Amino acid sequence: MENTKPLVDVMPLDLKQSVSANARTILVVDDSKSNQMLLQAYLEDDGFQVELAANGLEAVERVRLKRPDVILMEINMPVMDGYEAARHIKDDIGDSFLPILFLTGQTDEKALARCVRSGGDDFLNKPVQRIILKAKLDALLRISDLYGMVRQQYRSLSSHKEEQEREFEVAERLFSNVVHSACLDELSNLRYLHSAMSVFNGDLLLATELPGGALRVLVGDFTGHGLAASIGALPVAEIFNGMSAKGFAIGDLIQEINRKLRRLLPVGRFFCASVMDWIWEESRLSVWNGGLPEVLISDDDGRLVHRLPSRNLPLGAVPTERVNTGVEECEILPGQRVFAYSDGIIEAENPAGDMYGQTRLEACFDPAMPADRIYARITDGAAEFCGDESQSDDLTLVELYCDPEVMVARGKEKQEKKNTRPPMHWRFQLEFEADMLRSAEPIPLLTQMLLDYQGLRGHWSRIFTVLTELYTNALDHGILGLDSGMKDSAEGFSQYYAQREQRLSSLENGRLTIKLQHVVHGEGGRLTIRFKDSGPGFDLDAVPAEATENLGLSGRGIPLMRSLCQSLVYHGKGNSVTAVLDWN
């Protein structure tokens, strides 16, 4: 069979549809029928679709019904001229782009300028030359296409920006809720400056109360700035709040934070931190400082009386087994003030490039000035020194005014908001040998058990104090044989705790048994606590009957427990004790 082809190629259907879909619509606005017909012929011959309007008012109405791609507008028309029609059309379409090409026989500059002011995008002089008309239409359509593309990209970017802002707001709220401690704002004896370069930053400031009522504060500084530096803030805050709520010691907290950061942080990143426990009932401050500037302590007249420098490596820098968890102990008296800060304070620069420095900061500790103005002198002085120089690092400063009355009042407030479960019957027993005594911390474990079994949050400060005192007496004085009289001086504090660490690390023999029993009693419950240690005991007659009889820094534990318990009875040679606490 002979192969034949048509003389004219038949266009496929889908191609016809694409051409039809791509055809542009031109609205011709002219009161002259002959002009309309001539322009329509030119435009349709070039592949455009054509709509006609006899005056400006018709043009406005047609644009509202169906928007064309370009408008060819005569200026002088009845009903509504081209100038007014252009203004109405531009107002109607808002921020969209609809090109208007004015057709005019005028050539003076004022008339042409009026075309532009009325909303025209170009003009074409009469008589119309077809080649110039086609060129101007193509140019306007290219501009319209480009404008449409830019407008679509702008909308897409705006939508993306709004989504990012929403996500950032959620992340900011989450970050703030996790890393912000309520104690920072609720305690009147805490003042702090936390000036970050961005919402997500490398400085961290946390504070919380321990179950026994002591106050714990953490000041930290991750290497770097911004989001990258804040990566570790969430896990550190979670560990800090969780372990502190269970009463874990600073050493245990430091180990867990280091273990977490070693897994989380990239090489070369680490976390400088100071952790402080103010045990106000014992007039004692415990500090672990790793990589931050000195913790400074002033007395009640504003003199700088004590420094606690960094004696440890930053967290996350070395394996956990190499982290020193020992704390520095010092006596802290009512009226004294504790200052901890990140290096952003002393490294803040003025416009000349000079740093604020440690010397200027310490000059704020001036006995000639009120002690309660030290904090303001530091913050105001640093701000005045830096002037208009932009902040180059996150700045953190906290002042702890050691006023036990604030903590007493807060304890009473929390007692009024207690949340206690209905009383139940239960009991359990724990035994610790020497190996466990060297490494275990039973008080947090007992804390969690009591909260899980009975939920005694409203009474926990009293219970925790008794548990801690019983454990300290059993381990420190019973098993380790330490003399609490060593703590009667500020120097004795350091010697006492250094000797405690030494004896505990070399402990080979010793046993501690702890029994807890709870029963329903009256409208509440009765908690019976029994401690028995393997030590030699002590002379109970030498202990003051009441805490008020002892004004020293030692020997106050047993009188304190007597004031908190319904009964406190020592058995045998004094190495076995039973404490009874009632609650309702």
Residue 18 has a pLDDT of 33
Span 498-535, pLDDT tens digits:
888 889 889 999 999 999 999 998 888 899 999 999 99
- Average pLDDT estimate for 425-444: 86
Residue 486 has a pLDDT of 81
Specify the pTM: 0.61
**204: closest CA among 187, 189, 190, 184?**
184
Neighbour tally for 156: CB within 10 Å: 10
Domains of the chain: 13-150 (3.40.50.2300), 180-409 (3.60.40.10), 418-583 (3.30.565.10)
Residue 13 has a pLDDT of 35
- Residue 261, C-beta contacts closer than 8 angstroms, at least 6 positions apart: 232, 235, 236, 270, 271, 315, 316
Percent of the chain surpassing pLDDT 90: 43
Percent of the chain surpassing pLDDT 70: 85
Span 79-125, pLDDT tens digits:
999 999 999 999 999 888 999 999 887 767 777 788 888 888 888 88
Sheet (strand 100-104) strand order: 49-53, 25-29, 70-74, 100-104, 122-125
Do the beta carbons of residue 419 and residue 455 sit within 8 Å? yes
In the numeric block, which tokens belong to residue 557? 């534990």
Residue 175 has a pLDDT of 64
Dist. CA 294–CA 326, nearest whole Å: 16
- Average pLDDT estimate for 196-208: 75
Residue 3, pLDDT > 90, answer no
Span 209-239, pLDDT tens digits:
888 788 999 999 998 766 666 778 888 988 9
Residue 341, pLDDT > 90, answer yes
Between 409 and 307, name the one with better pLDDT: 307
**531: closest CA among 509, 498, 561, 556?**
561
Span 57-84, pLDDT tens digits:
999 999 999 999 999 999 989 999 999 9
Residue 1, pLDDT > 60, answer no
DSSP, res 286: E
Residue 196 has a pLDDT of 67
How does the average pLDDT of the chain come out, rounded?
Answer: 84
